[in-house]
Structure 1
């Protein structure tokens, strides 16, 4: 991927080769050859050039993150073909889609279809995507099923992240960045050796974001965000054959929550809500909200891992033999409170606490051989076992507000209760505005009094796997790489739902349970066992030392589970998700290694897609039959013959559609539990085109290195909700970012000024149905123009 080259061509050192030829403005030029630096990745569990890996991948360096002012993975997505984050503001509900496929995080039962691995540890909750993204050395995005080598549940792809390593010499860095929207980011690290066998690195991050979304009811910023995190990384080399790495981090996040705006109020809903906020409006582009519950989220996580590598040398005819053992333990705790209806009326609030912990072990063996049983010219082998045990506990409380009784006198309530979008009073209730009578509001507060529906969910997972993959160099031109993973998984769950209210003591139904059409249930010890065999096969042909073509086949698998948010206990189970991908591509370096061009085309077929269906109050879990994704990814990096200019670009083409989905949920304004046939329709979060183009100018200025870049980023049109409601359709858009950097010749310091979305494009990142108001929506607006300044210093 073109971003790879940022390792050697970052803003504060991209011009070094040129500057060395012109030490000052008056010295004569001495020509030196500029080339693209090789990028080393671990996509196949061994270190190798990214150009030798027979899959479509993007590798992003930590230096590139600093260059573009990125502080999280969401900021990098526009530079990655066919990669999409649903939100860049939500610290808990991270949804990632690769080639159109991902998992909706609104139901905690779903594990992500896109895996997340950091420092060799697989993390099995989507909330980890935002936990330890600081002091980063490299990010690898591997597209398509990666089940052979990476953890579990990597059916759509993997983010493989590596943090910066300790150094033997004393070194460090300091990064300070400030945005014009009152956002500050500070990152620091210190590394060095202690004696002959020990080295360590200590790093920390602090982020404070004031926020963009103003709540006119509570007079606060609903997306205010604070996070601080620390990491300790220790290398211990007691001998030439033994290497050990200890990696520990912790992170704390506190934020106002959640950052939603209301959209498309009909007349009856507007009349009702004006009783509580006379200035209520539904413009989704003005960064103004109005809801009454001061929501929040508190998130903490910590992780501890130990990697041990034993170099065995030559064993039983194998060379470079080594065992690697990774053991890890991690915990993630989330406490949140949100306004369920996202309006100024006190209808319902949602409190969710979850506690997750996982322990994992991976033991793998790597080696090489001169041939495969005397055939060919060499073999590289990776084989191992993997085990994961996790426990997840979640408690959900949906509490009725004082205005819920008044809400029951509206047409919105009658439509949901009857299931008929055309039902109600024909506008009579709206004109009478019974909710505006103080008597009903006062009576509601008296009658409701701590009326709640409670959901409790506990999930225990035990997963085991054995895997093997080898690359066989048949000749100096042909490489065959087969792989296989056998996995077995057991899930055991307890799930229950119950109403709680004072009126229940009088033999009357609880109001919240009635409004949700919820029933009491208790299921204990429900269990499912699954096993899977996922093969992989690729064949490469090297046209020359720098260019190869490949074709690959891979099968992916994501386990099934149990609904964590059922309101009745029916249909708790959902089935596993499966995918098969065929991919072909070209990876090459040309023009004396000044031009890098990569191209991949693919087709993926999915079975039993795991989806959520909105039921008017919450989300039901379903499997969505079959889908197909066809597409292309291309990237280019060119150091042009003009010594001051380099060019980078990428293109993603995507056609992801349902093949068969006859009982798909219809938009809620067509009726509760209404269905539609989505066969042949495009799936959500699947823009047909994505593209980026970045020209960079590099030149010396009075003994310093100056660089200026412009990013032109295009995202195609797409639906942002699974029911493909026309109101959730987001048109395609183009944003422009730019930056100017001035750096010292030795890369010791760099000052960068830049901005994103400089043309102020108004973009809705996601549009979702609003609880209680059929036909009304909640939106998340992407950030408008942001100007940033940063100072980077390293020694």
Structure 2
């Protein structure tokens, strides 16, 4: 068995590479935390000396390249490193990637941010600012980010606009995921882990070549956990999670130059819903809620909540794809010519039911059903030439076309709960409705009673009261793209690129009020009145967009192991229509555009034992798309302009003391609104404490939410022998800077900077036939809030979502 080593490199998460040698044209090697001993002696011509850093191969530019040669701020993380650290999803992976944040606690609406920019996907009108590509298939909905992640070869995180090669909706960056392919030899692996809060994961993959022309890999995943957030009202765990998935890859090689991979995969996920706690309750709100549950409290750090609706979410996807690659070779003066054709289709759905007040009172709940289907095709041709018109040296290029057609449907309703009648006689309702404070009382000694029994008495009148949304969107995108790298000399190269994208969206949208009182001839629907909603029908909406996304890079390749690059790139995110409008007014919002400048350093020093990489950048956004709370629900709009500037990088050092390896990453981020007049103001004035529902503010010059100024990780790894076994100990020091977690920059939503610590012991047999990992994350049990937002129905109070506390785990892996 022939083995190759590769190690983490420029802007890669702390990781080294180990992968079985596979067909040279089939797939890149992976990246893991520490090199494993080879099963057989490596070839001297291809293996660096012991203790040196190995090469990492990525596909960040649609072709296999050394990470050190790619003029992009990119991090590559190996699937084995993910398993070692207990990272089962992209959110946990993100802590090792500078200037990146992924919040996936709401598995239906994950939030992904790179360099401070991202998308709050709670309003499904928004498409993601960060693209997701897996096995060269572009996935068009944010919910795909929380689909199952298993049998992973590597994850590449590309920061900054990637419009030239990856297209629309990659304005902040791209997650480029590669899963494992059938190798030349029949082999398999299995992993079983158990951890705190009943975390159980079983993952397995097996495959290889069946004969000279056919290969197969079959893999699967099962995950379950109870989670830490306990609902004392319902006596259940609100973060319980069930996920199962499977994938089949069939590889056909009918000729020496042709390879076809058929991929079929499916994933299903279910969970209670949703993981929020009450925070900073007003005295009148507390008194009202205690009439339903005397235990109600607003401590967001105790992993305890009390709400009455047994919410749930079920989501899943199925995908089929055919990836064809032709190795053409020499063609009309070109070398290493190849063609790629990728055809794919995918279906995705989310069915969710959850309450909107996160309290023991049954005020209102959401019933939502999303269905998405997409067809895509990409054709590429790449090759090399000896020069360009006889000038300079080698030229390599890639050019192609892209097609994407999707249909998205949303059927949702905001429904009255059984206790809504009692809520209508509370100070909170008076404040939202704009009723005079003298009528509502002062909220302490004199206020409306909000008696729980009133809900029971009035429930026959509010039963069936709702406001329903019906939204359908058809999207057609066509693009042509090209990029080449022209090596002017052995030290200098330029890379120009361009993508032309055209997109058309057609939308039918409507909002309808429904209620018992309406049917009785009393034209007053409670939910519609609370939301200031009215019936509307907006059919035949359409918008067409065209965009040019250019790119230009200047590279310098030094003789001393130091490479430099300077780049300019543009990207855009589609405009669209508000799918959760209450009135049908101002449905449209404009596309978001960005341009970025980068200066990058990629260095391999000290006789190939130290790799240090860094990128200095500035990105400017126009027509930034934002989701803002309006006192009752969420609006979508364009926020003007914003700028993000900063630095990010990492290092890997194979120290002079052979057993010790140091890895680290760092990011510094300054992301601000250039101008954003009419931005939502905090519901409660931070200075006076007075409520100011519907107020606005100018956030020009202010920080952007979800943009911590500094992030950093440091991971020392010590390798040693333990009873004739291979062993290593790793520890992580993780620093997360302070940040705001809501658009209005309310001080109550500010999360202070903090440190977290993780560690793991990994013991394996000399031939890596089995591996035992014992580890823990957040070992100090740091209590931190992921997000704080304004509470619906309780103005001046908040909902908080708590990050995970201490997590311990054990994993046993086998290779065969």
Classify the TM-score, shorter chain: over 0.9
The verdict on how the C-alpha distance between 1:11 and 1:755 changes in structure 2, with shifts beyond 3 A counting, is farther
The verdict on how the C-alpha distance between 1:73 and 1:777 changes in structure 2, with shifts beyond 3 A counting, is same
Q: Cα distance, 1:443 vs. partner?
A: 2.3
Candidates 777, 781, 791, aligned match of 2:802:
781
Moved more, 303-312 or 554-563: 303-312
Moved more, 271-280 or 543-552: 543-552
Q: Cα distance, 1:429 vs. partner?
A: 8.2
The verdict on how the C-alpha distance between 1:697 and 1:349 changes in structure 2, with shifts beyond 3 A counting, is same
CA distance in 1, matches of 2:284, 2:154: 52
Aligned pair 1:454/2:471, yes or no?
Answer: no
Aligned pair 1:582/2:592, yes or no?
Answer: no
Q: Which residue of 2 aligns with 1:98?
A: 114
CA distance in 2, matches of 1:112, 1:567: 23
Candidates 529, 535, 556, aligned match of 1:541:
556
Aligned pair 1:487/2:487, yes or no?
Answer: no
CA distance in 1, matches of 2:431, 2:284: 12
CA distance in 2, matches of 1:581, 1:123: 24
Candidates 705, 725, 738, aligned match of 2:746:
725
SS in 1 for 2:707: coil
- The answer to whether the 8 A contact 2:475-2:504 is kept is yes
The verdict on how the C-alpha distance between 1:601 and 1:396 changes in structure 2, with shifts beyond 3 A counting, is same
1:531-550: CA deviation from partner (whole Å, max 9, x where unpaired) = 00010000100112732100
- The answer to whether the 8 A contact 2:440-2:448 is kept is no
Candidates 71, 89, 93, aligned match of 1:76:
93
- The answer to whether the 8 A contact 1:649-1:692 is kept is yes
1:455-514: CA deviation from partner (whole Å, max 9, x where unpaired) = 111000000000000000000000100000000000010110011111102132111111
- The answer to whether the 8 A contact 1:202-1:233 is kept is yes
1:61-460 alignment, distance < 5 Å: 61-85=78-102, 87-418=103-434, 425-427=440-442, 431=446, 434-436=449-451, 438=453, 440-460=454-474
Aligned pair 1:793/2:810, yes or no?
Answer: no
Q: Which residue of 1 aligns with 2:632?
A: 617
Aligned pair 1:628/2:643, yes or no?
Answer: yes
SS in 2 for 1:416: helix
Candidates 762, 771, 777, aligned match of 1:756:
777
Candidates 499, 502, 513, aligned match of 1:499:
513
CA distance in 2, matches of 1:12, 1:71: 16
CA distance in 2, matches of 1:735, 1:20: 39
1:470-481 alignment, distance < 5 Å: 470-481=484-495
Please list every run of 5 or more consecutive structure 1 residues that lacks an aligned counterpart in the other structure. 22-30
1:572-614: CA deviation from partner (whole Å, max 9, x where unpaired) = 0000000010000110111111111101100000000000111
Q: Which residue of 1 aligns with 2:569?
A: 554
- The answer to whether the 8 A contact 1:8-1:37 is kept is no
Aligned pair 1:37/2:54, yes or no?
Answer: yes
Q: Cα distance, 1:355 vs. partner?
A: 0.3
- The answer to whether the 8 A contact 2:14-2:33 is kept is no
CA distance in 1, matches of 2:33, 2:40: 12
Q: Cα distance, 1:376 vs. partner?
A: 0.8
CA distance in 2, matches of 1:17, 1:194: 25
CA distance in 1, matches of 2:529, 2:111: 31
CA distance in 2, matches of 1:32, 1:379: 31
Q: Which residue of 1 aligns with 2:688?
A: none
CA distance in 2, matches of 1:423, 1:19: 84
CA distance in 2, matches of 1:175, 1:419: 60
CA distance in 1, matches of 2:41, 2:340: 42
Q: Which residue of 1 aligns with 2:68?
A: 51
SS in 2 for 1:643: coil
CA distance in 2, matches of 1:792, 1:12: 16
Moved more, 395-404 or 411-420: 411-420
1:726-741 alignment, distance < 5 Å: 726-741=747-762
CA distance in 1, matches of 2:64, 2:14: 15
SS in 2 for 1:325: strand
- The answer to whether the 8 A contact 1:3-1:60 is kept is yes
Q: Which residue of 1 aligns with 2:7?
A: none
- The two structures have a TM-score, normalised by structure 2, of 0.94
Q: Cα distance, 1:78 vs. partner?
A: 1.0
Q: Cα distance, 1:515 vs. partner?
A: 1.1
**Looking at both structures, which has the greater relative contact order when contacts are Cα pairs under 8 Å and sequence separation is at least 6?**
1
- The answer to whether the 8 A contact 1:659-1:679 is kept is yes
SS in 2 for 1:435: coil
Aligned pair 1:704/2:725, yes or no?
Answer: yes
Q: Cα distance, 1:202 vs. partner?
A: 0.2
SS in 2 for 1:522: strand
1:401-448: CA deviation from partner (whole Å, max 9, x where unpaired) = 12112111111111111188x77623268745522263x223221221
SS in 2 for 1:454: strand
1:113-143: CA deviation from partner (whole Å, max 9, x where unpaired) = 0000000001011111121310000100000
CA distance in 2, matches of 1:630, 1:11: 30
CA distance in 2, matches of 1:621, 1:341: 21
Aligned pair 1:8/2:23, yes or no?
Answer: no
Q: Cα distance, 1:643 vs. partner?
A: 1.2
SS in 2 for 1:8: strand
Q: Which residue of 2 aligns with 1:603?
A: 618
- The answer to whether the 8 A contact 2:167-2:499 is kept is no
CA distance in 1, matches of 2:14, 2:455: 61
The verdict on how the C-alpha distance between 1:634 and 1:428 changes in structure 2, with shifts beyond 3 A counting, is closer
- The answer to whether the 8 A contact 1:693-1:713 is kept is yes
CA distance in 1, matches of 2:384, 2:41: 41
CA distance in 1, matches of 2:345, 2:455: 50
The verdict on how the C-alpha distance between 1:12 and 1:719 changes in structure 2, with shifts beyond 3 A counting, is closer
Q: Which residue of 1 aligns with 2:683?
A: 668
CA distance in 2, matches of 1:272, 1:177: 44
CA distance in 1, matches of 2:52, 2:756: 30
CA distance in 2, matches of 1:503, 1:426: 28
The verdict on how the C-alpha distance between 1:437 and 1:598 changes in structure 2, with shifts beyond 3 A counting, is closer
1:374-416: CA deviation from partner (whole Å, max 9, x where unpaired) = 1111101100000100000001111101211211111111111
1:313-366: CA deviation from partner (whole Å, max 9, x where unpaired) = 222221111110001000001100001111110100100000000000101110
What is the total number of aligned residue pairs between the two structures?
783
SS in 2 for 1:148: helix
SS in 2 for 1:16: coil
Q: Cα distance, 1:264 vs. partner?
A: 0.6
Q: Cα distance, 1:749 vs. partner?
A: 1.1
- The answer to whether the 8 A contact 1:666-1:673 is kept is yes
CA distance in 2, matches of 1:317, 1:91: 51
Q: Which residue of 2 aligns with 1:564?
A: 579
- The answer to whether the 8 A contact 2:440-2:447 is kept is no
CA distance in 1, matches of 2:39, 2:250: 37
Q: Cα distance, 1:222 vs. partner?
A: 1.0
- The answer to whether the 8 A contact 1:271-1:433 is kept is no
Aligned pair 1:514/2:535, yes or no?
Answer: no
1:636-686: CA deviation from partner (whole Å, max 9, x where unpaired) = 000011011000111100000001011111112342321001011000000
Q: Which residue of 1 aligns with 2:22?
A: none
CA distance in 2, matches of 1:93, 1:182: 24
